[in-house]
Structure 1
Amino acid sequence: MLTDSPALLVDGLRKRYGDRDVVSGLSLRAARGELTAVLGPNGAGKTTTIECCEGLRRPDGGRVEVLGLDRTRPENAAELRHRVGVMLQEGGLPMAPHAGAVLRHVASLHDRPEAAGPLLERLGLTTVARTRVRHLSGGQRQRLALACAIVGEPELVFLDEPTAGLDPQARLAVWDLVRELRAAGTSMVLTTHLMSEVEELADHVVVVDRGASVAAGRPAELRGAPHVRIAPPPGTSAATLAADLAAALAQHAGLDTCAEAGGVVVRGTRMDAAVLAVVARALADTGHGAAEVALTRPTLEDAFLSLTGRELRADAA
């Protein structure tokens, strides 16, 4: 077992459906003991990528290594089944059995039958343990699917939209459990559309768009630094305001002023209330005191939209 290798390594992955490239040379890494979030708009290729990593689809090219093993080699499949947990968005659960029976069966496959009861209780499923899966609510099925994915104490878990359809209390319970798993050394790969979930849980983020990875890093790195954003007063162009403000701020080292997206942005190594006051004074001194000024702290959603665009695409579900 190659413990010095990443939990997941994807290098130059390619997958084609008919005449369309769904994944075209995508690469990503997920470190051991961390939670890596894979983000992308619908149709970006992230689901196909993860399915290749889970062994549900066979890539047309590139390399996929899971826990140091080549995912495409049939002789590795049995070992990876015991070392990897998979939670699918649709659950992949049998509908006829009782919820408790499903989890106990999965637990027995991993020689951990005693783990089913505590996990049902932890995820609030004890009262529906004797309810057939088809009669569970969507949120209950989500929690059962999560329980099935982690009951075998896998080294790596793939989580696909783990809190979709959950109420706030259930979502927080799942987040707490995910944090505990990570603290215990479990590696996780998360796909979700909830930016708040990524902000709360992710150590590392990979953004996928049009079949390739377009950015990767810690959440704070992708968010970017705070900046001052200024809306020009009526009758003043952003270019004029930027030029006047840049001249007024020239004596303040480390501040950069530029026109951007119809306004003016001031960036620097330190962005706080003191800098905001300096900018406000410079605006007043240059006759632009009516401009609207705000200290803006970018969010992960801002970074995501900047990287992938804001338009609704025809292939978006």
Structure 2
Amino acid sequence: MKFLVITDAHLIQQDGKKVAYAPYVKEMDLWMRHVDEVTFICPDTIKGTLLAQAFQRQDFKQIGLRRLEFHTFWIALISILTVPYQFFVLCFAFAKADHIHLRCPGNLALLASIAQILFPSKKKTAKYAGNFDPNAAQPIAYRWQKRILSNTFLTKNIDILAYGKWPDQSENVMSFFTATYRRNQITALSIRDWNGPFKSVFVGAMGANKRPLEILEIIKSLTKDGIDISIDYYGDGPLKNEMAVKIDEYNLHDKVRLHGNVDNSIVTEAYKNAHFSFLLSKSEGWPKAVAEAMFWGCVPVASAVSCVPWMLGCTNKQLQREEA
């Protein structure tokens, strides 16, 4: 089988190997075990750092395309001018593929969603890693690709893997979640002392979407109220330096620790020993930080976005009572 993957995720060369964002690589390694030939269409350069991991399989092909971005006038103009070429590349690759796999959401994924309409007989899957809530406020590009792929008239022969179970979805949409651990990794839970002091963790990118600064304010407030709680931050990103400044300003060095990106085994041990895991994201798909925390008996404190209420077993009535 010739398996074609279209994604906005960067795939680059590092130390002589093809690498990409680590959690994405782990998932794609599973898909790639079951096919003969693999081709990726995706950006092949990146500015800044990448939490990278090498693919287990290195014999795949890669077609590099410019990342379609629209945050400034000139970058938007360049992106618009490259759209016809990228559309042609996609159609040419679609014609040769046996199975087309779209990784959504993203601008390249939107273009691929439009191109796939021309190939109704091709077997297709789409992994929608973002928020599939039909009522969520999202960029127009995200809303368009959800509507195109969900439309059974425009899109044929596809399974859309969407996080969470949402009402009034088309037959194209399949409720889905990502497994985090294997059965043989299940161990007895650590016994925690719920009389304090309390340990908490944050696992994720230090960016505005994850709201690490707001979590710091919570820790500051709880400490001020006499609650003995500490937090360990695991992850890197643009807000890390500002976090360090705030920790100095609040004199919370003994309560807040910034670890940056660390090996997954270290994060696992942190979950095992923590009482709480904080994740106050503005938007999510399937937040592994919530699933992993629960797996190790760590209580998640999370914002009610995307499928998080579904993950935690909350009903709409429960959420309405909490909001009231």
Q: Structure 2-normalised TM-score?
A: 0.28
Higher Rg of the two aligned structures: 1
Q: Which has the higher contact order (CA 8 A, sep 6+)?
A: 1
Q: Structure 1-normalised TM-score?
A: 0.28
